Structure 1
Amino acid sequence: MAITLPDLPYAKNALEPHISARTLEFHHDKHHKAYVDNANKLIEGTDLAQLDLEAIIKKVAGDASKAGVFNNAAQVWNHSFYWNCMKPGGGGAPTGDIAQKINADFGSYEKFVEEFKNAGVTQFGSGWAWLVLADGKLKIVKTPNAENPMVQGMKPLLVVDVWEHAYYLDYQNRRPDYLTTFVDKLISWDFVNSCLK
C-alpha cells in the first residue's frame, strides 16, 4: 500500500495573499513530496508496506531503530492534515459544535486564540501547534519535528505548521505574524468540525 502525495484541496494561489503560491509550490511539491518518497523507500519490502499511513506511524512510534520511518511517515500525515486545516476565506471565530466546545473548554474563543498562538510561537525550532481532543476535552499541545499527538492517544482537530519552510518565503522570521494570519484568515472550521465527529 504505497504512501501517496495528496493533491492540495485548493489551487496553489487560493490562499494568497496570506500564503503565496510560491510557498505552497515549495512546501507541497518539494517538502511534502520528499517525505512521501522517503517513507515509501523506507517501508519497501517490509511488513510496514502493507499498512496504511496511520497504522505505520502508530506501529513505529518510539522505536529508535525506526526513527527514519516515523519521521517521514508522520510528516506525510501532518502535512496532509495541515493542508485541510486551511481554506480560502477561512479563519475568524468558529461556528458549529467546535464553537461551543471551545467556549466550554477554554472559556472563550479569545482564550483559545491566545493559547494556540502561544504554543506556535514558543515551539522552539521546528514543529507543530495542535488543537486536540484528549479524554473528551479540548487541549492545545505543541510537538517538535515530526511528532504527532495521536501516538499519545489524542485526536488531532487542527494543526499549524511552524517549520520555517511553512512561512519563511512570506513572513521571514515573523512567526507570530504568520500565526495571527493563520488564525484570522485561514482556519477551516468546517474541517475542524468534521474531525470532532
Structure 2
Amino acid sequence: MERREFLTLSAKWGALALLSASGVSCGNKEPGTVALPPLPYDADALAPYISGNTIGLHYGKHHQGYVNKLNKLITGTKYRKMPLEEIIRKTCGECDETAIFNNAAQVFNHTFYWNSMKPGGGGKPVGKIAEKVDAAFGSFEKFAEAFGAAAKSQFGSGWAWLVADGDDLKIMKTANADTPVAHDLKPLLTIDVWEHAYYPDYQNRRGDYIATYLTHLVNWEFAEKNLG
C-alpha cells in the first residue's frame, strides 16, 4: 500500500466522533473507551501548507497516543462513563488526577484543532462570525494581528484560541494541555503551537506557520457553528 493511501485510510478508519452543541468532542463509544474521531478531511488535504506526513504523525501518533493513554487511565474509575468535556472539568485542578486531565484535554484540543482548519480555508470571515470579530477587535486585520501575536508569544508548548465569553469574543493562549473548557469559556477556533504541529514543515519558523493558518487554513464556518 502506498504511504499516501495508508494515511488517507488511517484517517477514515477512526471511530465516529460525537458532536456537542459547544463544539467537537470525542464521546465515550462504550464505558471506559474514548474514541479517536476521524479527520474531517483526507490526511494530505491541507498540503502544501501542512503536509500529509505531518498530519500522519500528529494525528496517528500524538492524538492517538492521548486517546490510548486516557482510556488506560479511566478504566475502572468514575470517569469511564463520562463525556470527554465532563472529564476535563471534573479533573481540572485536581493534583492526583493531572494525568487524566492532561490526556483528556489533549484529546479535545487536537480534535478541535483539526476542525479549526479546512482545505481552501483562511482569509476574512463572512456572516455572523465576521460581525462578531469586527465588533470585538475592530477589524479582521486587527484580530489576525492579535491572534498571531498570542500564538507566537506562547512560550514553549501550547495553544492559541478564539473564544466566546458570554457575548464577547476574546483571544487567549493556554500552555501545554490547558483548554478553554476548563475555564468555562466556549472555544471557537484554535491553533496548535506545540512544535510537533509545525516543525516537520516549518522548522523553527512558527510565525510562518501561524500566518499560513490564518491565510490558507482557518475554518470560519466551524467558528460560526460554535457560536451557537
Which residue, out of 199, 205, 212, partners 1:174? 205
Residue 218 (structure 2) pairs with residue 161 (structure 1): no
CA distance in 2, matches of 1:149, 1:87: 22
Match of 1:117 in 2: 148
SS of aligned partner of 1:157: strand
State the secondary structure of the residue aligned to 2:164: strand
- Structure 1 position 152, deviation (Å): 1.2
Q: Is the 8 A contact 2:158 2:175 kept in 1?
A: yes
Task: Report the 3-state secondary structure (helix = DSSP H, G, I; strand = E; otherwise coil) of the residue aligned with 2:223.
Answer: helix
2:158 aligned partner: 127
The alignment status of 1:8 with 2:26, answered yes or no, reads no
Match of 2:174 among 119, 133, 143: 143
1:156 maps to a residue whose letter is P
TM-score by length of 2: 0.86
Gaps of 5+ in 2: 1-30
Q: Which residue of structure 2 lines up, in the alignment, with residue 32 of structure 1?
A: 63
Task: Identify which of 88, 92, 95 aligns with 1:61.
Answer: 92
Task: Give the total of aligned pairs.
Answer: 197
> Match of 1:93?
124
CA distance in 2, matches of 1:166, 1:108: 28
CA contact (8 A) 2:202 2:208 kept: yes
Query: AA paired with 2:77?
Result: T
CA apart distance, 1:17: 0.2
Q: Which structure 1 residue ranges, 5 or more long, are not aligned? A: none
CA shift for structure 1 position 41: 0.3
Alpha-carbon offset, residue 153 of structure 1:
1.3
Greater relative contact order, per chain length (Cα 8 Å cut-off, separation 6+) = 1
1:145-192 Cα offsets, whole Å, 9 max, x none, are: 000012111100000000000000000000000000000000111111
Is 1:82 matched up with 2:122?
Answer: no
Q: CA separation in 2, counterparts of 1:135 and 1:7?
A: 30
Structure showing the higher helix proportion among its residues: 1
Structure 1 vs Structure 2 CA RMSD: 0.6
Deviation at 1:135, TM superposition (A): 2.7
Moved over 6 A (4+): none
Q: Deviations over 1:101-126 (max 9, x none)?
A: 00011011011000000000000000
User: Aligned equivalents of 1:97 and 1:63: distance in 2?
Assistant: 38
CA distance in 1, matches of 2:55, 2:225: 24
CA–CA separation in structure 2 for the residues paired with 1:102 and 1:145: 26
The one-letter code matched in structure 1 to 2:192 is D
Per-residue CA deviations over 1:3-52 (Å, capped at 9, x if unaligned) read 11111000011000000000000000000000000000000000100101
**Alignment partner of 1:23 is 2:58:** no
Q: Percent identity?
A: 54
